[in-house]
Amino acid sequence: MFFGSDNTAGVSAKVMAALAAANDGFAGGYGNDELTQKVEKQLGELFEHDVAVALVSTGTAANALALSCLVEPYGAVICHAESHIVVDECGAPEFYSGGAKLVTEAGYGAKLTPQIVAGMLERVGRLVPHHVKPQAVSLTQATEAGTIYSAEEITAISSLAHERGLRVHMDGARFANAVAALGCAPAEITWKAGVDVLCFGATKAGAMAAEAVIAFDPEIAEELSYRRKRAGHLISKHRFLAAQWLGFLGNGHWLELAGHANAMAARLADGISKSGVGRLAFPVEGNELLVTLPKVVDLRLKEAGAVYHEWPTHGICVDPLPGEDEVFIRLVTSFATTAEDADTFLSHLKA
Amino acid sequence: MFFGSDNTAGVSAKVMAALAAANDGFAGGYGNDELTQKVEKQLGELFEHDVAVALVSTGTAANALALSCLVEPYGAVICHAESHIVVDECGAPEFYSGGAKLVTEAGYGAKLTPQIVAGMLERVGRLVPHHVKPQAVSLTQATEAGTIYSAEEITAISSLAHERGLRVHMDGARFANAVAALGCAPAEITWKAGVDVLCFGATKAGAMAAEAVIAFDPEIAEELSYRRKRAGHLISKHRFLAAQWLGFLGNGHWLELAGHANAMAARLADGISKSGVGRLAFPVEGNELLVTLPKVVDLRLKEAGAVYHEWPTHGICVDPLPGEDEVFIRLVTSFATTAEDADTFLSHLKA
Amino acid sequence: MFFGSDNTAGVSAKVMAALAAANDGFAGGYGNDELTQKVEKQLGELFEHDVAVALVSTGTAANALALSCLVEPYGAVICHAESHIVVDECGAPEFYSGGAKLVTEAGYGAKLTPQIVAGMLERVGRLVPHHVKPQAVSLTQATEAGTIYSAEEITAISSLAHERGLRVHMDGARFANAVAALGCAPAEITWKAGVDVLCFGATKAGAMAAEAVIAFDPEIAEELSYRRKRAGHLISKHRFLAAQWLGFLGNGHWLELAGHANAMAARLADGISKSGVGRLAFPVEGNELLVTLPKVVDLRLKEAGAVYHEWPTHGICVDPLPGEDEVFIRLVTSFATTAEDADTFLSHLKA
Amino acid sequence: MFFGSDNTAGVSAKVMAALAAANDGFAGGYGNDELTQKVEKQLGELFEHDVAVALVSTGTAANALALSCLVEPYGAVICHAESHIVVDECGAPEFYSGGAKLVTEAGYGAKLTPQIVAGMLERVGRLVPHHVKPQAVSLTQATEAGTIYSAEEITAISSLAHERGLRVHMDGARFANAVAALGCAPAEITWKAGVDVLCFGATKAGAMAAEAVIAFDPEIAEELSYRRKRAGHLISKHRFLAAQWLGFLGNGHWLELAGHANAMAARLADGISKSGVGRLAFPVEGNELLVTLPKVVDLRLKEAGAVYHEWPTHGICVDPLPGEDEVFIRLVTSFATTAEDADTFLSHLKA
- CATH number for the domain spanning D299: value is 3.90.1150.10
Q: pLDDT (tens digit, 9 = 90+) per residue, A115-171?
A: 999 999 998 988 999 999 999 999 999 999 999 999 999 999 999 999 999 999 999
Same domain, D124 and D227: yes
Residue numbers in B near C230 (CB within 8 A) = 73-74, 99, 129
Q: Looking at the domain assignment, is residue A53 inside a domain?
A: yes
Interface membership of A74 toward D (CB under 8 Å) = yes
Q: How far is CA D163 from CA D141, D157, D166, D216, D284, in A?
A: 22, 10, 7, 18, 32
- At residue A305, does pLDDT exceed 90? yes
Q: Does the beta-carbon distance from D74 to A129 stay under 8 Å?
A: no
Q: pLDDT (tens digit, 9 = 90+) per residue, A79-123?
A: 999 999 999 999 999 999 999 999 999 999 999 999 999 999 998
CB neighbours of C113 closer than 8 A, spacing ≥ 6? C107, C153, C156, C157
Q: Does the beta-carbon distance from A130 to C88 stay under 8 Å?
A: yes
Q: pLDDT (tens digit, 9 = 90+) per residue, C98-129?
A: 999 999 999 999 999 999 999 999 989 889 99
* Shortest CA gap D209–chain C (Å): 7
Q: pLDDT (tens digit, 9 = 90+) per residue, B280-312?
A: 999 999 999 999 999 999 999 999 999 999 999
Same domain, C220 and C267: no
Q: Tell me which of C251, C272, C293 is where a domain ends.
A: C251
Residue numbers in C near A100 (CB within 8 A) = 91, 94
Interface membership of B231 toward C (CB under 8 Å) = no
Tell me the C-alpha distance between B173 and B140, whole Å. 8
Query: Which residue ranges of chain D lie beneath pLDDT 50?
Result: none
Q: Tell me which of D187, D216, D251 is where a domain ends.
A: D251
Interface membership of B20 toward A (CB under 8 Å) = yes
Interface membership of A55 toward D (CB under 8 Å) = no
Residue numbers in C near B231 (CB within 8 A) = none
Beta carbons of B145 and B329 less than 8 angstroms apart: no
- B contact chains, 3+ CB pairs < 8 A: A, C, D
Q: Looking at the domain assignment, is residue A3 inside a domain?
A: no
* Shortest CA gap B130–chain C (Å): 7
Q: Residue B35: give its domain's CATH number.
A: 3.40.640.10
Phi, psi at A55, each rounded to 5°: -85, 135
Q: Does the beta-carbon distance from B123 to D73 stay under 8 Å?
A: no
Same domain, C212 and C339: no
Q: Does the beta-carbon distance from B234 to C128 stay under 8 Å?
A: no
The nearest alpha carbon in chain B to D84 belongs to: B130
Percent of chain B with pLDDT over 70: 100
Q: Does the beta-carbon distance from C123 to A91 stay under 8 Å?
A: no
DSSP B27: -
Percent of chain C with pLDDT over 90: 97
Q: Does the beta-carbon distance from B123 to D94 stay under 8 Å?
A: no
Top residue of C230, C234, C235, C238 to mutate, by most chain B CBs within 10 Å, is C230
The nearest alpha carbon in chain D to A68 belongs to: D73
Q: Does the beta-carbon distance from B89 to A57 stay under 8 Å?
A: no
- At residue C235, does pLDDT exceed 90? yes
pLDDT at position D351, please?
Answer: 79
The nearest alpha carbon in chain B to C98 belongs to: B98
Interface membership of B312 toward D (CB under 8 Å) = yes
Q: Which of A74, A98, A229 sits opposite D226 (nearest CB)?
A: A74
Same domain, A246 and A276: no
Q: Which of D72, D132, D227 sits opposite A74 (nearest CB)?
A: D227
* Shortest CA gap A118–chain C (Å): 14
Same domain, D127 and D224: yes
The mean per-residue pLDDT over the stretch C194-223 comes to: 97
Same domain, B246 and B271: no
Interface membership of A324 toward C (CB under 8 Å) = no
Residue numbers in B near C226 (CB within 8 A) = 72, 74, 128-129, 132-133
Tell me the C-alpha distance between C234 and C61, whole Å. 11
pLDDT at position D126, please?
Answer: 86
- At residue C272, does pLDDT exceed 90? yes
- At residue B126, does pLDDT exceed 90? no
The mean per-residue pLDDT over the stretch B88-103 comes to: 98
Phi, psi at C24, each rounded to 5°: -130, 110
pLDDT at position D40, please?
Answer: 97
Top residue of A236, A244, A334, A341 to mutate, by most chain B CBs within 10 Å, is A236
Residue numbers in A near B204 (CB within 8 A) = 236
Tell me the C-alpha distance between C88 and C91, whole Å. 8
Tell me the C-alpha distance between D142 and D344, whole Å. 26
The mean per-residue pLDDT over the stretch C317-326 comes to: 97
Top residue of A7, A11, A241 to mutate, by most chain B CBs within 10 Å, is A7
Give the model's confidence band at A290: pLDDT under 50 very low, under 70 low, under 90 confident, else very high.
Answer: very high
Domain limits for position B333: 254-350
Of C249, C251, C184, C256, which is closest to residue C42 (Cα–Cα)? C249
Q: Looking at the domain assignment, is residue B91 inside a domain?
A: yes
Q: Which of D73, D95, D314 sits opposite B95 (nearest CB)?
A: D73
- At residue C46, does pLDDT exceed 90? yes
Pairing state of beta strands C211-215 and C279-280? unpaired
Q: How far is CA A253 from CA A21, A57, A189, A263, D293, in A?
A: 17, 19, 20, 15, 79
- C contact chains, 3+ CB pairs < 8 A: A, B, D
Phi, psi at A80, each rounded to 5°: -75, 145
- At residue C67, does pLDDT exceed 90? yes
Same domain, D315 and D303: yes
Q: Does the beta-carbon distance from D99 to B101 stay under 8 Å?
A: no
Tell me the C-alpha distance between B336 and D160, whole Å. 45
The nearest alpha carbon in chain B to A57 belongs to: B235
Interface membership of A309 toward B (CB under 8 Å) = no
Interface membership of A319 toward B (CB under 8 Å) = no
Interface membership of A343 toward C (CB under 8 Å) = no
Top residue of B94, B120, B122, B311 to mutate, by most chain D CBs within 10 Å, is B94
Q: How far is CA B2 from CA A344, B19, B308, in A?
A: 54, 26, 7
DSSP C191: G
Same domain, C233 and C281: no
What's the structural domain count of chain C? 2
Q: Does the beta-carbon distance from C87 to A131 stay under 8 Å?
A: yes
Residue numbers in D near B76 (CB within 8 A) = 91
Q: Looking at the domain assignment, is residue A106 inside a domain?
A: yes
Q: Looking at the domain assignment, is residue D90 inside a domain?
A: yes
Sheet holding A197-201, edge to edge: A52-56, A211-215, A197-201, A167-172, A133-140, A75-80, A101-105
Q: Tell me which of C251, C284, C316 is where a domain ends.
A: C251
pLDDT at position B336, please?
Answer: 98
Mean pLDDT of the residues in chain A: 97
Sign of CA dihedral D117, D120, D126, D132: negative
Same domain, B145 and B211: yes
Neighbours of C185 (CB within 10 A): 14
SS3 D300: helix
Q: Does the beta-carbon distance from D229 to A130 stay under 8 Å?
A: yes
Q: Does the beta-carbon distance from D130 to A226 stay under 8 Å?
A: no
Give the model's confidence band at B351: pLDDT under 50 very low, under 70 low, under 90 confident, else very high.
Answer: confident
pLDDT at position B125, please?
Answer: 84
Same domain, B188 and B267: no
Q: pLDDT (tens digit, 9 = 90+) per residue, A168-223?
A: 999 999 999 999 999 999 999 999 999 999 999 999 999 999 999 999 998 999 99
Neighbours of B339 (CB within 10 A): 11
Q: Looking at the domain assignment, is residue C5 inside a domain?
A: no
* Shortest CA gap C246–chain A (Å): 30
* Shortest CA gap B141–chain A (Å): 19
Q: Does the beta-carbon distance from B9 to A19 stay under 8 Å?
A: no
Interface membership of D74 toward B (CB under 8 Å) = yes
Q: Looking at the domain assignment, is residue C235 inside a domain?
A: yes
Residue numbers in A near D74 (CB within 8 A) = 223, 226-227, 229-230
How many CB contacts within 8 angstroms connect chain A with chain B? 154
Same domain, A111 and A168: yes
Same domain, A238 and A312: no
Interface membership of D229 toward A (CB under 8 Å) = yes
Residue numbers in B near A30 (CB within 8 A) = 7
Question: Would you say the ipTM is above 0.95?
Answer: yes
Q: Looking at the domain assignment, is residue A4 inside a domain?
A: no
The nearest alpha carbon in chain C to D33 belongs to: C8
Interface membership of D214 toward C (CB under 8 Å) = no
